[in-house]
Chain A
Amino acid sequence: MTAVGPGLLSINGLFKEYRQGEPVLKDINLSIDASGVTAIIGPSGTGKSTLIRCINRLIDPTSGQIMFRGLDLAQLTGRSLREARCHIGMVFQEYNLVERLTVIENVLCGKLGRLPIWRPLLRKFSAQDIAQAFDLIDAVGLSQDFASRRADALSGGQRQRVGIARALMQEPSLILADEPTSSLDPKTSVEIMELLDQVSRQRQVPVIVNIHNVVLARRFATRIIGMSSGKVVFDGPPEALQDKHLNEIYGGEDWQA
């Protein structure tokens, strides 16, 4: 694939070493377009999570460039990094909701980067933000009654919906999802992927999702990136993904359960 002009996000020559001389990511070069669901597949420990976390700098890359909205994310610090993060929503494997906060407080967390601190301190969010939070709780398929329930009272699927609402509250230009279905049962996993696919289409937000489940990746992604030992070994549409590619990604044929 030749990139036609710079995409929304372009990663050039990205390396990450946790210990010197043992790179987890080896020269990643990717360009992500401004729409669609991109699935990153690959065995555990291959650097999928590290890659996604380098993008919003929850992990600092060792070297390389991550261009997003005209800025190199890899170089940002302090205020400019937080400003860039405001535009990148993130959904987590274990939902990572603040357990003792209510659903609507968790959703409103998505606005924190754009609010002066007295607003969360006194819980004085603007009527507009609160209305938006209610709309999102609705949009992710929860009833409004959930708004004042504490996050620790929800089921896994419900929590992940709140997690998605929190990401959407940021009005992001990109959503990163790190194994969003790995802690869920098969049926709920499909529902969550459907929801991510739907919000991606309706809101024109590209989604990059790490996922173990090749079937789900094929079903919902418009592009699949296969990683193995810290390198991209496949990049193409789901139709192009064949067994020989999967053998290469997973190293053998044991991926066929």
Chain B
Amino acid sequence: MSHTALGSTKRPAAFLVHWPSRLAWIGLGLYVLYAAGQVNVSWERFVSGLPQAAKLFDRMFPPNLAPDKLDLITTGMLETIQIAVIATVVGVILSLPLSVMAARNLSPAWLAASARVFIAVCRSFHPVIVSILFVKAVGFGALAGVLALIVSSLGFVGKLFAEVLEELNEKQVEAVRSTGAGFFSVLIMAVMPQVFARFIGLSAYQFDSNLRNSTMVGIVGGGGIGAALFTAYQRFDYDVVLTILIVIIALIMLAELLANSLKKIFR
């Protein structure tokens, strides 16, 4: 029965056209073109900007390593690191009970729902926006930055850790509960051992993120290197800007290494 030559039998199409998804892609493409027209994003505009960019990069090199600038940068960076460390430690510790409250398998429904609303509010705004609020509330300086980053840590770690808790192996929990253990003993001996490694991972990621964000909160007066960076931009001291950017990149890489070794310890 070798009637398999092309065209010998009429067969249905192997790949059906899925019109809804095709229309969605076309719609997205059209919207991007329309939006680009609205905000004046065009190739000509890009090309006309290039000489300006060349001038910027030209003025950035070489990076400014004058002692007084380095002093300023060191002070700013140290404050940035302090903001990130304090905000991460406090935020992560506070998000522990918060995520237990938000986990629907560990808390009554009303409590889980209210904790989730609180977490959602913490997550709603970018740390810079929260910073502006705290700068207005408690004044300029590192405290405002710390508070802003605690809020964003609560939002991020609280939400993701609650999700980790909801994926618990119930059998292990049930077994410990059946020994007559109370709620906190069950948390300590059946819940935490299952999720602690994930918690460390999330905390390390949050530290990384807080470190990046703590370089930003200074721009709105929340303390740290951001203030120096912003001032340097405004004074057109692009060589100082470059020095600061290099230090930030080095710091983020260092944090990455630290996070990796932490994850290895708490596997």
B39 shortest CB reach to chain A, Å:
52
Asked whether B171 is an interface residue with its Cβ less than 8 Å from the other chain, the reply is yes
Interface string of B91-113 (1 = CB under 8 A from A): 00000000000000000000000
Q: Which of B169-200 contact A (CB under 8 A)?
A: 169, 171-172, 174-182, 184-186, 188-190, 193-194, 196-197
A203 shortest CB reach to chain B, Å:
17
* Chain B residues, CB < 8 A from A98: 172, 175-176, 189-190, 193-194
Rounded to whole angstroms, the CA-CA distance of A88 and B181 in the bound complex is 12
Interface residue count for B (Cβ, 8 Å)?
A: 22
A141 shortest CB reach to chain B, Å:
20
Rounded to whole angstroms, the CA-CA distance of A98 and B181 in the bound complex is 14
Segment of A3-11, A78-86, A126-134, A222-230 engaged in the interface with chain B: A78-86
* Chain A residues, CB < 8 A from B175: 90, 92, 96-98, 109, 163, 166
- Is B194 a contact of A109 with CB atoms below 8 Å? no
- Is A85 a contact of B180 with CB atoms below 8 Å? yes
* Chain B residues, CB < 8 A from A58: 174, 177-178
Q: Which of A82-108 contact B (CB under 8 A)?
A: 82-90, 92, 94, 96-101, 105
Rounded to whole angstroms, the CA-CA distance of A200 and B177 in the bound complex is 23
| A-B pairs with beta carbons under 8 Å apart, 30 shown | A56-B178, A82-B180, A82-B182, A84-B180, A86-B180, A88-B180, A89-B179, A90-B178, A92-B171, A96-B171, A97-B172, A98-B176, A98-B193, A99-B169, A99-B194, A101-B189, A101-B193, A109-B190, A110-B179, A111-B179, A112-B179, A112-B181, A112-B185, A112-B186, A112-B189, A113-B181, A114-B180, A121-B188, A163-B175, A170-B180
9 tightest A-B contacts by CB?
A: A113-B180, A96-B175, A86-B180, A112-B181, A85-B180, A100-B193, A112-B185, A96-B171, A90-B178
What is B's interface to A at a CB cutoff of 8 Å? 169, 171-172, 174-182, 184-186, 188-190, 193-194, 196-197
